[in-house]
């Protein structure tokens, strides 16, 4: 019974199938064999070769130590998954009276599939689902070969073979970023970062990485032909189901809306439902009935085209249903309203009395990517810099997009934990984010754990939590060859994924790829032409033919468009002094980290970041020797892939450059970690790189957010990056285990609805303090600026009342020259400024706190803070009260190894860690544990570690 219930939940793909008709291939006994047969071990589905080798004890955890190097032999070999079909066929074949389908929701990546000794298909695309009619092969089982075999070829060696062909196009390094396995990923429809990236390992895995099934469709005689159709298996558990729903698309938009036409907010809603059906029977007069129970809405029986008896290919049927504008409540991101979802039931009426149904969740919203020129009135009245708009509008309202970028959650998709993904998405909400960009070098994120073999929830959780998801097709950082062979595989890949994601109100757009437009703009015309064909013409036409609810853009970072209809890219066709498209920013010169003039003045900044170490606790998970616990140990440096090696040289010969970037940043801006305890010094180094990362990103975000009230009208900032793929140097704000870095708490501060921010220009010694709001109405409040010395003595204080217009800022302080900025008689090393703001939004009080030090903390006259900690409670009800006798900058409390959670201010409930602890102002923070991810669910308060910058140089 468990199997039937689980498959009924595959609402969009297996709803019409009965218990006896579905066989989960994970129930077969699988073996994994390498090419020469020296390794033959038990295997599983879904899985990947590394994971099966690990389960068999032939290798240790791939993420341990230097296993990303020592286990490279796995990627060089060919691996074959084999299972005996006899346990399934013994009864099924005898009783088969219809069609049998072999369904794979994901194969990674190059594979020959054989069924009972007969070839079924050769596949070469990790991002596609495959369905094959194997009905005629059933009789072969028992006559010899009774195996189902998936023989996987090394993706790397396949790529080498393809690129060695005389007709293969070769690309210069200037238009093709290479990481570890060079020059092949353009030719393989596989996760790009599997071949290495500057924040992760290169395992190049292979396997049947998503669930797979055998589905038997029973022949049924329709009433039109004088017979009785089957009773719906969802009602009766009958095994006589003639129908398989291979794909579905549910696209909700406004009447008249499309890629180039903005939605009319008062128009009716259109619910566009399309189904791809494989049937064992003919149905001459089928229809679809759509209903939303919560709204008491039921459509008429909407006729669709006849369904033919064919399992070789799918028959598409579709209907549209209009709903008045004001009937459904609209879906909003969590910070702008309620993420309202509805249950939509789709009933396929096969005859007058018999039907099959499925129910899924969806929502009603309009999302528009506005790229039209600013009007002359905008320029004259609002002070907008001329050029094009580039921002999103939800339900007709412009808003500020606050968020980060998502990379794959694990090097091995098959072991990604749903609870780990949900924690990352929940953490985004807790830190005030409302948009996540799904990076185009990873994988199409699943809808949920059931649909299309997703294994874990992504878009469904985004829907529920109210997080907007910027989606990308999987193309990144290189030019791609244009040939019919690849295009024939790419088209169904894109169609399948756009259709699958259509139903999710969280989706905001499809970008064709990541960072490619900028690569080709200065390249020879030949490569630009190839780019334009693939991203302007080919992919755009596919996407807009499958959805009318979201926009398509050619690339994540783009100069925008000259027109949407016809779709014409701007590229380098810019007018001097005008602003177009969006931007990204990476600057690893730490001397320029807080130089405002180096930040892009942009409508939207979709990538910017600086790398940091993971915590000491993460290193404990993977380092195997005491000697490894050192900032520049060989193992630690081997896990710094920035800048990337560019080839298979190991350890990364460029790692010293990345290490030096972090080292110089800490040396410039913080006390240099150095104590008599080697482990403490290493822990302080790891933590200090995270402090600088947070300082750097908070400074940039504050600048971009303030741009909402300036000429650039900046309405978006997405930090690179949110999650981690392993325990190593990266740009993430959340570690692989789920532990929050300092940056994650920094995001919670700077992504608050109302923030106060200091802007320091060193060149002319000017300090400006702004209050910025992303509320859609005017906000009133009070700000306080308080100067302290490092002993914690209040030196000066001032208060300011303010009113901030919608999506704007208000300047509350401006002064030039240190003498007019600093308290009288104090120099820049002796004092620091605490900035506080309180405001009222929707009858709720919100607060924000930031800090300004007129000199680097490396020069500050710090005093021993003698932090005292008292704890109360246990487990998920544990609080810590901290006090100090002198100012403790960046006071930080770490939860122990084996626990996952975060800290919140006990009074406000706002995430709080990495704050300035001031004498006389106690801080009580609560530890909120995630028990699903924590191995230690009853931690001892003694095991929580408190540190501050004082500990960089003192035990």
Residues labelled as active-site residues = 515
Partnered with residue 468 across adjacent β-strands are 435
The backbone torsions φ and ψ at residue 804, rounded to the nearest 5 degrees and listed phi first, read -105, 120
**What's the angle, vertex CA 330, arms to CA 326 and CA 334, rounded to 5?**
155
Cβ neighbors of 419 (< 8 A, separation 6 or more) are 930, 932, 933
Q: What b-and-e string marks burial along 832-863, b requiring 16 or more CB atoms within 10 Å of the CB?
A: bbbbebebebeeeebbbbbbbbbeebeebebb
The four Cα atoms 617, 618, 622, 627 give a dihedral, to 10 degrees, of: -50
The four Cα atoms 453, 455, 458, 463 give a dihedral, to 10 degrees, of: 70
Tokens of 954: 């003192």
Which secondary-structure segment (H or E) carries 71? none
- Please tell me the distance from the alpha carbon of residue 435 to that of residue 413, in angstroms, as a whole number: 23
- Please tell me the distance from the alpha carbon of residue 46 to that of residue 26, in angstroms, as a whole number: 7
Q: Are strands 435-438 and 468-472 parallel, antiparallel or unpaired?
A: parallel
Burial label, 827 (beta-carbon count in 10 A; 0-12, 13-18, 19+): exposed
Tokens of 86: 């006899």
Q: Closest Cα partner for 938 from 876, 895, 865, 869?
A: 876
Helix (H, G, I), strand (E, B) or coil at 181: coil
- Please tell me the distance from the alpha carbon of residue 39 to that of residue 597, in angstroms, as a whole number: 59
Helix (H, G, I), strand (E, B) or coil at 433: coil
- DSSP letters spanning 319-358: EEEEE-TTSSPPB--TTTS-B--EEEEEEEE-SSS-EEEE
- Please tell me the distance from the alpha carbon of residue 468 to that of residue 507, in angstroms, as a whole number: 6
Cα atoms found within 13 Å of the Cα of residue 629, Cβ hemisphere only = 18
CB 317 within 8 Å of CB 307: yes
CB 435 within 8 Å of CB 402: yes
CB 238 within 8 Å of CB 40: no
User: Taking every pair of C-alpha atoms in the chain, what is the biggest distance, in angstroms?
Assistant: 101
Cα distances from 47 to residues 31, 102, 413, 447, 927, in angstroms, run 12, 18, 8, 19, 35
H helical segments located in 343-441: 376-377, 418-430
- Please tell me the distance from the alpha carbon of residue 177 to that of residue 172, in angstroms, as a whole number: 9
Cα distances from 594 to residues 490, 694, 722, in angstroms, run 43, 12, 21
Roughly what angle, to the nearest 10 degrees, separates helices 678-706 and 655-669? 80
Q: In whole angstroms, how large is the CA radius of gyration of the chain?
A: 29
Roughly what angle, to the nearest 10 degrees, separates helices 539-546 and 484-501? 30
Secondary structure of the chain: what % helix, strand, coil (to 5)?
Answer: 25, 30, 45
Q: In what order do the strands lie in the sheet with 397-398?
A: 367-370, 391-394, 397-398
- Please tell me the distance from the alpha carbon of residue 225 to that of residue 572, in angstroms, as a whole number: 64
Length of the chain: 955
H helical segments located in 812-903: 818-821
């Amino acid at each position: 019974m468990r199997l039937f219930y689980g498959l009924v939940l595959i609402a969009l793909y297996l709803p019409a199938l009965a218990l006896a008709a579905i066989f989960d291939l994970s129930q077969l006994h699988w073996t994994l064999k390498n090419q020469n047969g020296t390794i033959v071990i038990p295997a599983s589905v879904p899985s990947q070769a590394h994971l099966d080798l690990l389960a068999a004890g032939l290798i240790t955890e791939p993420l341990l130590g230097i296993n990303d190097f020592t286990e490279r032999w796995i990627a060089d070999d060919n691996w074959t998954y084999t299972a005996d079909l006899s346990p399934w066929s013994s009864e099924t074949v005898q009783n088969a009276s219809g069609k049998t389908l072999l369904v794979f929701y994901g194969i990674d990546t190059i594979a020959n599939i054989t069924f009972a000794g007969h070839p079924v298909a050769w596949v070469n695309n990790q991002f596609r689902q495959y369905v094959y009619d194997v009905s005629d092969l059933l009789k072969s089982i028992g006559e010899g070969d009774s195996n189902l075999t998936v023989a996987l070829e090394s993706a790397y060696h396949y790529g080498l073979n393809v690129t060695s062909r005389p007709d293969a196009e070769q690309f210069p390094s200037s238009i093709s970023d290479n990481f570890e396995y060079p020059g092949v990923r353009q030719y393989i429809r596989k996760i790009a970062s599997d071949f290495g990236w500057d924040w992760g390992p290169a395992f190049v895995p292979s396997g049947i990485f998503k669930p797979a099934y055998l589905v038997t469709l029973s022949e049924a005689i329709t009433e039109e032909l004088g017979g009785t159709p089957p009773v719906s298996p969802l009602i009766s558990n009958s095994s006589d189901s003639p129908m398989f729903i291979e794909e579905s698309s549910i696209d909700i938009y406004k009447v008249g809306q499309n890629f180039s036409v903005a939605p009319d907010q008062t128009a009716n809603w259109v619910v566009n439902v399309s189904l791809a059906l494989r049937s064992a029977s003919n149905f001459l007069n089928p229809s679809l009935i759509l209903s939303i129970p919560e709204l008491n809405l039921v459509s008429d029986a909407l006729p669709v085209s006849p369904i033919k008896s064919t399992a070789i290919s799918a028959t598409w049927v579709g209907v549209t249903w209009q709903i008045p504008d004001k009937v459904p409540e609209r879906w909003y991101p969590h910070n702008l309203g309620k993420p309202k979802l509805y249950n939509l039931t789709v009933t396929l009426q096969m005859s007058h009395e018999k039907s099959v149904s499925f129910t899924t969740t969806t929502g009603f919203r309009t999302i528009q990517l506005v790229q039209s020129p600013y009007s002359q009135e905008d320029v004259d009245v609002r002070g907008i810099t001329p050029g094009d708009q580039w921002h999103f509008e939800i339900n007709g309202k412009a808003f500020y997009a606050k968020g980060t970028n998502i990379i794959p959650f694990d090097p091995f998709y098959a072991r990604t934990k749903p609870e780990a993904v949900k924690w990352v998405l929940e953490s985004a909400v807790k830190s005030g984010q409302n948009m996540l960009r799904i990076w185009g070098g990873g994988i199409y994120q699943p809808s949920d754990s059931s649909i299309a073999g997703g294994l874990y929830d992504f878009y469904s959780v985004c829907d529920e939590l109210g997080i907007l998801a910027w989606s990308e097709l999987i193309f990144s950082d290189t030019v791609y060859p244009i040939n019919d062979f690849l295009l024939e595989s790419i088209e169904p890949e894109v169609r399948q994924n756009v259709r699958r994601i259509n139903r999710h109100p969280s989706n905001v757009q499809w970008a064709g790829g990541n960072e490619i437009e900028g690569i080709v703009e200065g390249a020879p015309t030949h490569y630009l032409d190839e780019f334009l064909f693939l991203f302007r013409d080919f992919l755009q036409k596919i996407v807009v033919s499958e959805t009318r609810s979201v926009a398509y853009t050619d690339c994540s970072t783009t100069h925008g468009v000259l027109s949407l209809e016809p779709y014409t890219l701007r590229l380098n066709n810019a007018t001097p002094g005008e602003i177009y498209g969006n931007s990204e920013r990476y600057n690893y010169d730490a001397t320029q980290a807080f130089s405002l003039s180096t930040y892009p003045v942009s409508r939207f900044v979709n990538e910017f970041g600086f790398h940091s170490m993971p915590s000491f606790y993460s290193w404990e998970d993977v380092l195997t020797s005491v000697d490894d616990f050192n900032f520049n140990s060989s193992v630690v440096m081997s896990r710094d892939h920035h800048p990337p090696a560019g080839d298979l040289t190991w350890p990364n010969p460029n790692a010293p450059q990345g290490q030096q970037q972090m080292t110089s940043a800490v040396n410039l801006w913080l006390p240099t970690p150095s104590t008599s305890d080697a482990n403490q010094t290493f822990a302080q180094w790891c933590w200090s790189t995270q402090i600088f990362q947070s300082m750097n990103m908070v400074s940039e975000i504050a600048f971009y957010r303030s741009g909402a009230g300036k000429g650039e009208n900046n309405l978006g900032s997405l930090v690179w990056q949110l999650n981690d793929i392993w325990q190593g140097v990266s740009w993430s704000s959340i570690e692989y285990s789920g532990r929050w870095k300092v940056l994650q708490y920094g995001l919670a501060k700077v992504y608050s609805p109302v923030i106060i921010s200091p802007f320091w220009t060193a060149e002319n010694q000017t300090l400006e303090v702004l209050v910025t709001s992303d509320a859609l109405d005017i906000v009133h409040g009070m700000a306080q600026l308080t100067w302290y010395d490092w002993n914690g003595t209040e030196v000066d204080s001032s208060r300011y009342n303010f009113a901030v217009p919608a999506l704007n800022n208000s300047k509350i302080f401006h002064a030039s020259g240190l003498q007019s900025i600093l308290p009288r008689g104090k120099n820049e090393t002796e004092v620091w400024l605490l900035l506080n703001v309180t405001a009222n939004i929707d009858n709720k009080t919100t607060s924000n706190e930031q800090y300004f030090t007129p000199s680097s903390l490396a020069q500050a006259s710090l005093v021993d803070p003698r932090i005292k900690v008292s704890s109360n409670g246990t487990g998920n009800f544990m609080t810590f009260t901290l006090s100090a006798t002198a100012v403790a900058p960046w006071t930080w409390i770490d939860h122990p190894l084996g626990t996952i959670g975060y800290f919140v201010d006990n009074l406000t409930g706002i995430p709080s860690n990495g704050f300035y602890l001031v004498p006389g102002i106690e801080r009580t923070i609560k530890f909120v544990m995630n028990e699903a991810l924590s191995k230690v669910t009853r931690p001892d308060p003694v095991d929580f570690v408190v540190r501050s910058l004082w500990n960089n140089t003192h035990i």
